[in-house]
């Protein structure tokens, strides 16, 4: 966006105010009091710029969200334009052209059959909505014993209480145990054999207890927060088929995988499946605004026919927000006009080649990649491991922001990152894992 560059507070004052008054996420008091934060004052394209004017390649697209890089000029224009037209309006009894058009456009790009969208404002919210829809559907359509959900080991679906109940990344949920509801969970998978076992286990549970199961939640093909765990489309296909046989819901959480992260617009499409319910976030606005969505088939929506006693009682103040809707539409337009999926094709090959080679580096436990994600394990400590942090520091010194997941060190860059920038990012990555 054009305009006068802003002058910034001195770094020391920003850090002091932050330490005195901000409660940061996923950060211990000890870390907050001693770790030096990066102070980022602007971001454009693939780069973050700190208060001293130093630039860092954003190797993880800012928590996987900024899929089109920072401050894409078309998004900035669309947003500015929409601020002049209408910034907010209640969704109660009101619709507006942006939200209606967005829902229509989504129905055309989503996996076939997902034609109906509920809007919310973050990925956890999109998952909560999916949970409530599935639960309520069976209650009011003659299968009220269907109250349980099945989840994959290693699952992460967000941090609100419902979404956290589905999760099994212990570090995120340990403190809240008694508040969470029970789910049926497969063991955490680390190998192809484990994944096969997970699919078989789900099929067995659905055969034996189908009258209890409201739905099966999966992150299709790629579990992000679990440390970039990847499984084959065949496994997803089998889980899908098991939900068909049991006639229960498959819920795909594509908050991370959607919009091309796995190389295809939807991870679900790589397995040729349509889930009953699809959760979107992160790349939904290319990381511009907090907006998310839950898409369902008409069969699911038909289960809510009737009066208010059968309605979905869930909404947020900012449901269908005009600014978010306009930006989400612009994102889809950019995908069409700039051929983003074709751009991904070129880049995913570079990532694949690099991570194939990284497997040979001493100290690398497991190298893997899928689409616009490449990851290595530098230790066996999982999310609490400290090996990633050393590589992180090394990468920062060389000019890349590569925040790890414990011992898992990974890249998840923007889909339109410049090819020379991607090459540099992969070089810094290699240097960081060699030099630890």
Ligand X SMILES: *Cc1c(COP(=O)(O)O)cnc(C)c1O
CA 288/CA 68 separation, integer angstroms: 10
Residue number with CB closer to ligand X (253 or 377): 253
Tell me which of 282, 383, 392, 401 is the catalytic residue: 282
**How far does the chain reach from its first CA to its final CA, in angstroms?**
39
Largest CA distance in the chain: 65
- Comparing CA positions, the residue from 258, 238, 240 lying closest to residue 250 is 240
Tell me which of 58, 194, 253, 407 is the catalytic residue: 253
According to the binding rule CB under 6 A, does residue 260 interact with ligand X?
Answer: no
Please state the three-class secondary structure of 330-376 as a single string.
Answer: HHHHHHHHCCHHHHHHHHHHHHHHHHHHHCCCCCCCEEEEECCEEEE
User: Exposed, middle or buried by CB within 10 Å (0-12, 13-18, 19+), for 6?
Assistant: exposed
According to the binding rule CB under 6 A, does residue 128 interact with ligand X?
Answer: no
The interface region with ligand X, picked from 86-94, 203-211, 250-258, 336-344 by CB under 6 A, is 250-258
Share in percent of the chain as helix, strand, coil (round to 5): 45, 15, 40
According to the binding rule CB under 6 A, does residue 157 interact with ligand X?
Answer: yes
According to the binding rule CB under 6 A, does residue 412 interact with ligand X?
Answer: no
Residue number with CB closer to ligand X (255 or 277): 255
Q: Which of 59, 154, 224, 385 binds ligand X (CB under 6 A)?
A: 224
According to the binding rule CB under 6 A, does residue 264 interact with ligand X?
Answer: no
Residue number with CB closer to ligand X (65 or 199): 65
Q: Which of 47, 135, 256, 409 binds ligand X (CB under 6 A)?
A: 256
**Residue in the shown chain whose Cβ atom is closest to ligand X:** 123
Annotation marks residue 56 as catalytic: no
CB of 29 to ligand X, least distance (A): 22
Residue number with CB closer to ligand X (183 or 390): 183
CB of 270 to ligand X, least distance (A): 16
Cβ atoms 183, 177 nearer than 8 A: no
Strands across the sheet containing 366-370: 366-370, 373-377, 408-411
Q: At CA 257, angle to CA 41 and CA 37, rounded to 5?
A: 25
CB of 156 to ligand X, least distance (A): 6
Annotation marks residue 259 as catalytic: no
Please name the residues in contact with 374: beta carbons below 8 A apart, sequence gap of 6 or more.
Answer: 351, 352, 354, 355, 358, 367, 368, 410, 411, 429
Residue number with CB closer to ligand X (253 or 330): 253
Q: How many CB atoms lie within 10 A of CB 209?
A: 15
Tell me which of 47, 137, 156, 231 is the catalytic residue: 156
Q: Which of 281, 303, 324, 388 binds ligand X (CB under 6 A)?
A: 281
According to the binding rule CB under 6 A, does residue 158 interact with ligand X?
Answer: yes
Annotation marks residue 383 as catalytic: no
CA 411/CA 391 separation, integer angstroms: 12
The interface region with ligand X, picked from 97-105, 123-131, 298-306, 344-352 by CB under 6 A, is 123-131
Annotation marks residue 253 as catalytic: yes
User: Exposed, middle or buried by CB within 10 Å (0-12, 13-18, 19+), for 130?
Assistant: buried
Q: Which of 98, 194, 212, 219 binds ligand X (CB under 6 A)?
A: 219
State the residues that interact with ligand X by CB under 6 A: 122-124, 127, 156-158, 219, 224, 253, 255-256, 281-282
Active site positions, annotated: 26, 156, 253, 282
């Amino acid at each position: 966006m054009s305009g006068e560059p802003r002058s910034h507070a001195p770094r020391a004052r920003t850090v002091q105010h932050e330490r005195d008054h901000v409660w940061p996420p996923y950060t211990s008091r000890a870390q907050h009091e001693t770790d030096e934060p990066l102070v980022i004052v602007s971001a454009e394209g693939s780069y973050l710029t700190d208060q001293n004017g130093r630039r860092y390649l954003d190797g993880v697209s800012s928590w996987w969200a900024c899929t089109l890089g920072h401050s894409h000029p078309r998004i900035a224009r669309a947003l500015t334009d929409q601020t002049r037209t209408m910034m907010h309006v209640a969704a109660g009894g009101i619709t507006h052209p942006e939200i209606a058009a967005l829902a229509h456009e989504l129905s055309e790009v989503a996996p076939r059959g997902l034609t109906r969208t509920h809007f919310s404002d973050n990925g956890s919210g999109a998952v909560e909505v999916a949970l409530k829809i599935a639960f309520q559907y069976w209650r009011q359509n003659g299968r009220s014993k269907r109250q349980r959900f099945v989840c994959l080991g290693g699952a992460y679906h967000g941090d609100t209480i419902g979404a956290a109940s589905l999760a099994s990344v212990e570090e995120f949920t340990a403190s809240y145990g008694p508040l969470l509801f029970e789910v049926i969970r497969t063991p955490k998978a680390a190998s192809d054999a484990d994944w096969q076992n997970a699919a078989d286990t789900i099929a067995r549970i659905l055969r034996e207890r189908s009258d209890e199961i409201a739905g099966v939640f999966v992150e299709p093909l790629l579990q992000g927060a679990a440390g970039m765990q990847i499984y084959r489309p065949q496994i997803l296909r089998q889980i899908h088929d098991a939900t068909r046989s049991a006639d229960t819901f498959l819920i795909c959480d594509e908050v991370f995988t959607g919009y091309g992260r796995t190389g295809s617009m939807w991870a679900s499409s790589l397995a040729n499946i349509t889930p009953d319910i699809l959760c979107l976030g992160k790349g939904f606005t290319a990381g511009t605004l907090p907006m998310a969505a839950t898409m369902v088939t008409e069969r699911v929506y038909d289960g809510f026919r009737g009066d208010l006693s059968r309605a979905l009682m869930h909404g947020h103040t900012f449901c269908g927000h005009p600014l978010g809707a306009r930006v989400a539409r612009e994102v889809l337009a950019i995908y069409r006009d700039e051929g983003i999926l074709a751009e991904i094709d070129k880049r995913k090959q570079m990532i694949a080649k690099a991570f194939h080679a990284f497997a040979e580096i001493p100290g690398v436990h497991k190298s893997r990649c899928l689409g616009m994600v490449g990851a290595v394990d530098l230790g066996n400590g999982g999310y609490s491991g400290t090996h990633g942090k050393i590589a992180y520091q090394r990468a920062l010194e060389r000019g890349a922001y590569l925040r790890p997941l414990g011992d898992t060190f990974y890249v998840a860059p923007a889909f339109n990152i410049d090819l020379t920038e991607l090459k540099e990012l992969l070089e810094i990555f290699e240097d960081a894992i060699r030099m630890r």
